[in-house]
A = this chain, B = another copy of it.
Amino acid sequence: MDKQLIYKQITEFWMNSIPFNQELGIRITRFDSEESEIRFDWQDKLIGNPLQKILHGGVTASALDFTGGMVAAANIIDQLDDMSPQMIQSSLGKLGTIDLRTDFLRPGRGEEFIVTAKVIRSGSKVAVTRMEMHNEQGQHLAFGTGTYMVG
């Protein structure tokens, strides 16, 4: 099967089938092994600090974790010899977060939030990724580092 088509199907599956991502309103805007990206809009239900109207830190961590997992997944798929649906499903089934560090740089304010992720260590068993979250004004809100089981 064609790689772009596979990526498109995985993107659709992830956008429609992960309940908590749907709660957060996460849209996958780039799914690629070089860099992956998601976006989500401000919603009042995501508030963590009612006095200051800022995102709950866990929303930020959730978005960083998912985006890091996405780019790790794209790297798994890129390394497969056999891109059959069974092989892809089996490979993605091994994906899991081992640990995640989130650095909160500025209060989570904005109308739209953009999270990008890159792989900094790619192996057959473990991948390490770096993530960044900005708002629509380009303010850098958070950094993340994630370690994922990939094989």
Which A residues are closer than 8 A to B by beta carbons? 17-24, 44-52, 55-59, 61-63, 65-66, 69, 89, 93, 96-107, 120-121, 125-126, 128, 130, 140, 143, 145, 147, 149, 151
Contacts and interface: CB of A to CB of B under 8 A. Distances in A.
Contacts of A62: 56-59, 61-62
Question: Which of A55, A101, A125 counts the most chain B CB atoms within 10 A?
Answer: A125
24 contacts: A18-B48, A18-B50, A20-B59, A52-B93, A57-B61, A57-B62, A57-B69, A57-B100, A58-B62, A59-B62, A96-B107, A98-B98, A98-B103, A98-B121, A99-B101, A99-B103, A99-B147, A103-B120, A103-B121, A103-B128, A103-B147, A105-B121, A125-B126, A143-B145
Contacts of A120: 103, 105, 140, 143
A143 B147 CA distance: 13
Q: Is the interface of A mostly helix, strand, loop or mixed?
A: mixed
Please give me the 10 A-B residue pairs with the lowest Cβ-Cβ distance, nearest first: A58-B62, A61-B61, A20-B56, A19-B47, A57-B65, A17-B50, A105-B121, A19-B45, A57-B97, A100-B102
